[in-house]
A and B are shown apart, each in its own frame.
Chain A
Amino acid sequence: MNVGAISLTEIDKKTAERYLGYGTSSADPVTSGLLRKCEAELLSEIQARYVYKIFDLKDGQPAGCSLYLPGNSIREHLKGASKALFLCATLSSAVDRLIRKKQIGSMAEAMVTDALASAAVDQVLDEAEARIFAEYPFREHTWRFSPGYGDLPLGIQGSFLDILDAPKRIGVCVSPSLLLTPTKSVTAVIGLGEHIEKKHKKTCEICTLRGNCRFRPCGTETGG
């Protein structure tokens, strides 16, 4: 069980714009101004932390771990991997608080901050991955597969967090309806190995929002 902290100096505003529905258009000057203002405030509140654990895979399942990863999607995802990295990261509850507060003064700022925070979680995960991969030099790794993708049930969130001791290590818990709290938190499984089949790219196939996505027409590959 390893824990780390990450400090961001900038948030990917292009991604935030995409979350705000801009698609490929760029934001108007007023919204750009909002993005810059909210970015600065958000950066001062984020206290990003992550926790991870690496398991050997035996028949596609983590060895020495009481959690069974059910379903075809995760089996496909981990095909060819020799180890599985369990990762959880959060921006901390201060971000939830900031978004709550923003909603009183300006809903537009709240929405922009929310989008920026979603972009920031991805950056934190990228950075956490980069650090972990530097420590464990496997030749290849899969992308991040989260409970709720494909047929990997959200119901495993609680056990997943317990295995990482996430409530104690980084303050991430799950609600009875399986939402992660603080809200800007992510859990993911990543396969590590020497020969992972390249065909496992992130596609819309496994997305629960397929056919109803605001961000891109279905069938295209995500930026993931």
Chain B
Amino acid sequence: MTIKELFQKDYIILDGGMGTMLQAKGMETGTIPETLNILRPDWIIDVHRQYIEAGSDIVYANTFGANRFKMEGTGFSVDDIVSAAIHNAKTAAGERALVALDIGPIGQLLEPTGVLSFEEACDIFSEIVRAGVRAGADLIVIETMTDLYETKAAVLAAKENSTLPVFVTMTFESNMRTFTGCSVSAMCLTMEGLGVDALGVNCSLGPAELIPIVREIAKWTTLPIIVKPNAGLPDPVTGAYDVMPEDFAKYCGEMLDAGIKILGGCCGTNPAYISALKELLISPKDCVIKADKAKSRDLAVCSPLRTVVVDRPRIIGERINPTGKKRFKQALIEGDMDYILSQAIEQVEAGAEILDVNVGAPGIDEKAMMVRTVKALQSIVDVPLQLDSTKPDVLEAALRVYNGKPIINSVNGEDAVLDRILPLAARYGAAVIGLTLDENGIPPKAVDRFRIAEKILDRAKSYGIRKEDVIIDCLVLTVSAEQKAALETLKAVRMVKEQLGLRTVLGVSNISFGLPNRTSINTSFLTMALYAGLDLPIMNPNLPAMMWAIKSYRVLAAIDENSLEFISYSTDHTPADVRVRELTAENEKLRTERESFAEHPTDCTCPRCQSVLAARMEWLAAKLRQGPVGGDGGALSRSFRGLTDTKEYSDLRAAAGPEGMTAKAGASQEGTADPAGSDALSYGSGTLAEDSAGTGRNNGSEGSAKSSDLPRTTGILKAMETGMKKDGRRITAALLRNTEPMSIINDILIPSLDTIGERFETGKLFLPQLILAADVASECFDEIKTHLAKDGNSSKTRGRIILATVKGDIHDIGKNIVKVILENYGYEIIDLGRDVDPELILETAVSRDVKLVGLSALMTTTLGAMEKTIRLLRENNVDCRIMVGGAVLTPDYAKRIGADYYAKDAKTGADIAKEVFG
């Protein structure tokens, strides 16, 4: 029998549990079951034989955990175990059944939660696959997976090292997610994209509980579905499973109409369960569902955590792209991943549903940067990614490491491009954007762009790419240059949408280059394009006007039923209102808290009192900004006022006098029941006066640098004390108008940090407050960096420092805290991350001429790696100092392993840096 013949049958029967059978034979808890392939082949052969006699068409060889980690220390190699296991299964099967190479999870978590890299996982699985192929397995099953990334590594290993059919089953909980959060849809989209032959679910639950999961799988795939349930749920006391063979078969019978073709049992099942299944399936069923590969579906892309179905306009965020952005280019050159990630988080929070990722810039190793960026992005945001490059090798590298189903941006109508990139889309199961241009450029007429779209679709189909995975970009030209082109683009969009039935994408912002008030042009064009049939606008979601245009369109096009989404968005996105609501609640709380230390004098300068005052000030200012509530046209007009938040706030502050008085009046009315009220006011006036002083200096009027800088220093310090990041950024921006960046850093930011640092050291402040101040300082620095980048400059560094969490250690929060503080002090940090090879630290220290290396380790087990790193640096006579830190370190131990300094906390780290660099 071949697998092809087997697939002709209506149903395929798998085997049941192996572990339970071996325990019944006397295997002790803690034994590695795969070793029994060699130590007790008679047991293994007997289990297979029993299943085959019960009716199994396929038996899983006893290779579930046969990977190099688990075999370490058993005295057997992966090859030994796999070939013995396949041999045992074949011995039992003869011609009666097929033998599957069974691949389970490695038993270690992959990056980013664990330390195992995706590439190493691929390598581990490849070793097993090659052994299985050599031993003569008939097919490969990848089962009990909970991490989509690990599953992808296994499937790539199977595909790249064999031509055998591949079955994949993952393990879902009753919430329809795996332990790592992977959804059913993400499994189906990703695995079908990678070209597996059948997919489904095994383990964790009994057949009754799996019914909803199987129905969900059926919604997302046209492949044959596999179900291998446990024998119910284990009894909490005895551990025995609670579903008997007859009921097991009955529940499985209830799932057949969902399109299940392949059935078996997992934990707690034995040959009796397989016999019952055989009994169930022996009579011909009228409900056999044949997989319908041609069934048309909506385009959907995914990460493990989030699936985006393009059944309505979906927003693609455009900001991860260096084009025209100096600050972003600088971040790429410096390898400043935090900046790139902050751009991602900002867009997702603003409403982006997919993120375009483009990291190509002159002088950048685009391939390495792309891989690094994709891995970093998917470790913190859950939206699917759109991989944007013109280079096939960059795209392939990104497609490999992407966890889910992405979009490729892009191909065009040129034959050479199509034939280079479409095979990649097919192999990795990505959707692909086709630009309607070719070797002759962009056709001016819609009909010619339509023809290119047709060609792209045909070629994509010829590579086996499904129609719904082809997305067409009819190309936006700048309206100021070619005014008639805008309508031509929209015409092409409509044709592609209506005549080809394809999804469409446009880079919306291109339309307005060279015109003033670009947002106005952009929003109008966006609405027109949506009406013409645009599905995927690539845009800046941080611009509220663009988001409102999308949300409004969804109402007008009857997509947003009963305007529910619009109403809820309106409630959440009128910043002034929201802030006032939050602050009112905060104010109440602060009032209560203030009462608890009422003995403090009204002009008290202790941090507690100061933070209450600062919060009160913000509350008052926000209330003022919002204006009189009611009778002003309701939420919408207020919301637009809220959108210009920053400007109004600065206007308010600049205007000082009269409005300040209003605030005063308003507050004193409340003041009767408000002990903190008057304090807030005095602080408030102080701040307003402070800005006036700044303005005065701006106008060239009297006032020494000292007297006007002093309040600003106080302003920054206040922001640091209260953790008001926006205040920090705003004050810095104001300072930048008339102060040298370096002078802001040296005369204001660093002294403020020192002040906070001193208070921390003397126990007046605690660690979270120190770090909060550092967060504010980071905002100030970012403002300065952005300012400098505009002129093509970067800030001068006080010295270059390597920071790394040593090999084997993944607890890097301490190292990252030190990084923030040191950056604030103006040092250039080369952050090598966590789990860092000693060799990489050595190489970086030498090649970048680094004078201070900071190493962290949290666990006793990783101190060895720290010692090894220090030894390596010393042996190679690297001219650098080494500081070490981490929970388990002591000053003595630091000295013993050869470190120059022991940093007990981040502040000490900054002191050490000062000592080293002077």
- Bound form: Cα–Cα A114–B236 in Å: 32
Residue of A nearest to B760 (CB): A21
A27 touches B768 (CB 8 A): yes
A101 touches B860 (CB 8 A): no
- Taken residue by residue from 1 to 31, chain A's Cβ proximity to chain B (1 for < 8 Å, 0 otherwise) reads as 1110000000000000000111001011111
Which residue of the partner chain, among A31, A94, A175, A208, contacts B769 with CB atoms under 8 Å?
A31
In addition to A3-B234, A93-B109, A97-B379, 17 A-B residue pairs with Cβ atoms within 8 Å of each other are: A2-B239, A20-B766, A28-B608, A28-B766, A28-B769, A31-B766, A94-B181, A100-B379, A168-B203, A171-B180, A173-B108, A175-B115, A176-B69, A177-B865, A179-B810, A181-B108, A181-B114
Q: A93 near B341 (CB under 8 angstroms)?
A: no
Question: Which A residues are CB-close (under 8 A) to B144?
Answer: 168
Cβ–Cβ < 8 Å partners of A72 in chain B: none
Chain A residues near B (Cβ < 8 Å): 1-3, 20-22, 25, 27-34, 49, 64-67, 92-94, 96-97, 99-101, 103-108, 110-112, 114, 135, 148, 154, 159, 162-163, 167-168, 170-171, 173-179, 181-183, 208-209, 211-212, 214
A96 pairs with B113, CB closer than 8 A: yes
Contacts of B860 in A (CB 8 A): 148, 154, 208
Contact present for A175 and B813 (CB under 8 Å): no
Question: Taking CB as reference atom, which chain B residue is nearest A49?
Answer: B179
Task: Give 5 pairs: A residue, B residue, CB < 8 Å, sorted on A.
Answer: A1-B239, A28-B765, A30-B772, A49-B179, A100-B380
Do B772 and A34 have beta carbons less than 8 Å apart? yes
Are A173 and B107 in contact, with the CB atoms below 8 A?
Answer: yes
Contacts of A171 in B (CB 8 A): 146, 179-180
Q: Does A135 lie within 8 Å of B30, measured CB to CB?
A: no
State the Cβ distance, A141 to closest chain B Cβ, in Å: 18
Task: Give every chain B residue within 8 A of A159 (Cβ-Cβ).
Answer: 30
Point out the residues of chain B lying under 8 angstroms from A111, CB to CB. Answer: 767-768, 771, 813, 817
Asked if A65 contacts B28 (CB within 8 A), the reply is yes
Q: How far is the CA of A163 from the CA of B31 in the complex (A)?
A: 9
Complex A-B, nearest 6 residue pairs according to Cβ-Cβ distance, in ascending order: A66-B30, A177-B808, A171-B179, A108-B772, A181-B109, A108-B771
A2 touches B612 (CB 8 A): no
Taking a contact as CB atoms under 8 Å apart, the answer to whether A64 and B28 are in contact is yes
**Nearest residue, chain A, Cβ from B816:** A103
Taking the closest CB of chain A, its distance from the CB of B657, in whole angstroms, is 30
Chain A residues within 8 Å of B722, by CB: 30
CB pair B767–A20 under 8 Å, yes or no, is: yes
Q: How many whole Å from A52's CB to the nearest CB in chain B?
A: 10
Of chain B, the residue at the smallest CB distance from A64 is B29
For A182, list chain B residues within 8 Å (CB): 109, 113
Instruction: Give the number of chain B interface residues (Cβ < 8 Å).
Output: 73
Q: Which residues of chain A have C-beta atoms less than 8 A from B179's C-beta? A: 49, 92-93, 170-171
A-contacting residues, B253-272, CB 8 Å: none
> Which residues of the other chain, B, contact A183 by a CB distance below 8 angstroms?
113, 810-811
Q: Which residues of A contact B615 (CB under 8 A)?
A: 29
Contact in complex: A176, B30 (CB < 8 Å): no
Bound form: Cα–Cα A92–B305 in Å = 14
Given contacts A1-B239, A28-B611, A208-B860, contact A177 B113 (CB under 8 A): no
If A103-B813, A108-B723, A176-B115 touch, whether A29 touches B590 (CB-CB below 8 Å) is yes
Which residues in chain B, 857-880, are within 8 Å of chain A measured between CB atoms? Answer: 859-862, 865
Closest chain-A Cβ to B608's Cβ sits at a distance in Å of 6
Task: Find out whether the CB atom of A177 lies under 8 angstroms from the CB atom of B30.
Answer: no
Contacts of A66 in B (CB 8 A): 28-31
**Residue pair A163, B29 in contact (C-beta under 8 Å):** yes
Closest chain B residue to A65, Cβ basis: B29
A67 to B767, CA, bound (A): 41
Q: Determine if B239 and A135 form an interchain contact, defined as CB atoms under 8 angstroms apart.
A: no
Residue contact B113 to A181, C-beta cutoff 8 Å: yes
Smallest CB gap from B821: residue in A:
A107
B887 at the interface (CB under 8 A from A): yes
- Give the docked Cα–Cα distance between A183 and B812 (Å): 11
Taking the closest CB of chain B, its distance from the CB of A105, in whole angstroms, is 6
Say yes or no: is B774 at the interface (Cβ < 8 Å to chain A). Answer: yes
Q: Are A107 and B114 in contact (CB under 8 A)?
A: no
CB distance from B88 to the nearest CB of A (A): 22
Q: With A103-B813, A162-B30 given, is the CB distance from A211 to B181 under 8 Å?
A: no
A21 CB contact (under 8 Å) in B180, B239, B766: B766
For A135, the chain B residues whose CB sits under 8 A away are 236-237
Instruction: Specify which chain B residues have a CB less than 8 angstroms from the CB of A163 in the assembled complex.
Output: 29-30
Q: Decide: A167 and B808 in contact? CB cutoff 8 A.
A: no
A20 to B767, CA, bound (A): 7
Report A28 CB to chain B, min CB distance, Å.
6
A39 to B590, alpha carbons, bound, how many Å?
Answer: 19
Let me know if B775 and A108 touch, CB within 8 A.
yes
Chain B residues lying within 8 Å of A208, measured Cβ to Cβ, are: 860, 888
- Using a CB-CB cutoff of 8 Å, which residues 365-411 of chain B contact chain A? 379-381
Task: Kindly identify which residue among A25, A93, A105 contacts B345, using a CB–CB cutoff of 8 Å.
Answer: A105
Nearest-neighbour CB distance to chain A for B411, whole angstroms, equals 33
Using Cβ atoms and an 8 Å threshold, which residues of chain B touch A34? 723, 768, 772
Q: Does B507 contact A (CB under 8 A)?
A: no
**In contact, B180 and A101 (Cβ under 8 angstroms):** no
Is the Cβ of B28 less than 8 Å from the Cβ of A30?
Answer: no
CB distance from A6 to the nearest CB of B (A): 14
**Chain A: CB-nearest residue to B768:** A31
- Residues of chain B within 8 A (CB-CB) of A29 are 589-590, 593, 608, 611-612, 615
A164 to B113, CA, bound (A): 21
